[in-house]
Structure 1
């Protein structure tokens, strides 16, 4: 992987970016608990096809700044970073690709600033406008206090548990939420049992799957450890704004995402076990009218572009190449024209 690194100032925040290639801009937005390195398998393929590929550490992560206030991590702030980054890179538009938390940011950027987004891709998390995910006041009633997003609301608790040994946490979550998890009875919602921690509740893997190496774990851990004991405070503050996002995004209620879109998810992705996701997926074409594909990756877990880089790269390149083509005809609501 041959990438360059630099820092860019956006909205008073210094963002670290990894980049390669030249041509139309493709922004790759990582999720929790990752960073630019989660796109390590995409740089070469996209750059070789003639694209300028840029993957930032989003605010709070890795080599980027970590604003102190919890309120600095709202969805409008995160979208604002994408908008400012496009301008700082000297571009007028971009294709925005997001995974996990990066997917809501990508979908919301396309919703709020369609003038800047040529196309949008969401991996794992489908679009749920306007705030993109249900708030803790709702999920607490559905799942209880052990639901990970609810557990994360107390500032300092999960932060300290994860930061105590980043490599241990990362090894457990990356394997535990993958298609190679110890259980094989289907995807499960991430729950933290009472009396355990966000780390201890995840099983220690006996070995790493073929798609993940010890060096990968070390790179992630080293990048995260740059913020010391607050390695996960910024990333977890994203979750602590889910409730606030409901009001902040309310002006966009009823809006559709009107740029070409693509969605991909693995059959073992924990997101599919969440209540309401099946209904969201069935309604994708009413949310994203110009949906160019809804891809299912058999046996793939949550870490879509890391577990299945060849399939994801092929889907991205096909989507990118087709952005100037007319939308494909649809045969019905929620149609899934592309399966992998």
Structure 2
């Protein structure tokens, strides 16, 4: 079973779930999730001889939630990962992320390659820095109501999701598009009669309890820094992500259409060791099919 504790990183308290001893593996969750989304990987990695650590990233779960939006920039998020590795007494770690955690993992490997022994992105591939701000691109491609653009106005999506935490999470995790969507983000999905097979009621209850306490603002603030991140990373235009890398995605994950692992994405990851497609799997990859994800992770880790 994982143990839980807090560490002080960059002036805030970060909650960790950790298990095992050995080379350090850091697991970064996405939105809207917490360290609990790595419950299957913590056990498997520990059994294989690794020190697996899953933080609640800043703004999430039991970790601190700075109030200012600019405290959620990509430099703050990468800074937390680097500080965590140092706090745990290591010089390097394998950094694995899912969804927004993938963005943090890829950027940790980009900005601090000497700290990253290997990097794994699950669902979200490396995204090359384009010539236009990201929110301009999403509005042009998907329209002004695209969820990332909808998230920008402080307080709007926050209030929508906080109004019915369990209902919102049920809809988002089930991920079935609504034929007649209602305004907002969760309303784009049907309210499922039964939970997905990968999400037992007791695990949903954990997420509901965590987001009832924390709210969604911290996670939404990651999106509110997208254009700011683009502006601040101009010096890394076309810079390669050099550590050994792995990309894993579910074959039914909608992210594949939004952000494909195309030629441009592959070009910035010259040491991409493998890509793994998880069959009959949607967006919540490591929870939906932990067996295949764990197999891919352990094979990659052994190769390092």
Q: Does 1:196 align with 2:183?
A: yes
Q: Does 1:317 align with 2:298?
A: yes
Q: Does 1:213 align with 2:200?
A: yes
String of CA shifts for 1:234-292, please: whole Å, max 9, x gaps. Answer: 10000000010111111111210111000011111110121xx33x4334442111111
Whole-Å separation in 2 of the counterparts to 1:211 and 1:282: 33
String of CA shifts for 1:9-47, please: whole Å, max 9, x gaps. Answer: 111111100000010000000000000000011111100
String of CA shifts for 1:205-241, please: whole Å, max 9, x gaps. Answer: 11112111111111001111222xxx10110000000
Whole-Å separation in 1 of the counterparts to 2:80 and 2:115: 13
* Residue aligned with 1:90, SS: coil
Judge conservation of contact 2:177–2:188 (CA < 8 Å) in 1. Answer: no
Judge conservation of contact 1:172–1:204 (CA < 8 Å) in 2. Answer: yes
1:329 corresponding residue in structure 2: none
2:283 corresponding residue in structure 1: 302
For normalisation by structure 1, the TM-score amounts to 0.86
How much does 1:134 deviate? Answer: 5.8
1:39 corresponding residue in structure 2: 38
**In the alignment, which of 254, 278, 282 is matched to residue 270 of structure 1?**
254
* Residue aligned with 1:66, SS: coil
1:82 corresponding residue in structure 2: 81
Whole-Å separation in 2 of the counterparts to 1:95 and 1:192: 43
> How do residues 149-164 of structure 1 correspond to structure 2 at under 5 angstroms?
149-164=148-163
* Residue aligned with 1:125, SS: coil
How much does 1:79 deviate? Answer: 0.3
Whole-Å separation in 2 of the counterparts to 1:243 and 1:284: 19
Q: What is the alpha-carbon root mean square deviation over aligned residues? A: 1.8
Whole-Å separation in 2 of the counterparts to 1:222 and 1:8: 22
String of CA shifts for 1:282-339, please: whole Å, max 9, x gaps. Answer: 344421111111111122100010011000000000000001xxxxxxxxxxxxxxxx
2:226 corresponding residue in structure 1: 242
> How do residues 48-63 of structure 1 correspond to structure 2 at under 5 angstroms?
48-63=47-62
Question: How many residues are treated as equivalent by the alignment?
Answer: 303
Which structure has the highest helix share of the two?
2
1:114 corresponding residue in structure 2: 113
Judge conservation of contact 1:29–1:58 (CA < 8 Å) in 2. Answer: yes
Whole-Å separation in 1 of the counterparts to 2:249 and 2:17: 25
**In the alignment, which of 276, 281, 295 is matched to residue 262 of structure 2?**
281
* Residue aligned with 1:207, SS: coil
* Residue aligned with 1:115, SS: helix
2:122 corresponding residue in structure 1: 123
How much does 1:118 deviate? Answer: 0.1
For normalisation by structure 2, the TM-score amounts to 0.95
**Cα distance 1:48–1:91, how it changes in 2: closer, same or farther (>3 A)?**
same
How much does 1:192 deviate? Answer: 10
Instruction: Give unmatched runs, 5+ long, in structure 1.
Output: 184-190, 324-340
Judge conservation of contact 1:25–1:51 (CA < 8 Å) in 2. Answer: yes
String of CA shifts for 1:93-150, please: whole Å, max 9, x gaps. Answer: 100000000001000000011110000000000001448x961122112212220000
Judge conservation of contact 2:59–2:217 (CA < 8 Å) in 1. Answer: yes
**Cα distance 1:28–1:192, how it changes in 2: closer, same or farther (>3 A)?**
farther
Instruction: Give unmatched runs, 5+ long, in structure 2.
Output: none
Whole-Å separation in 1 of the counterparts to 2:165 and 2:29: 17
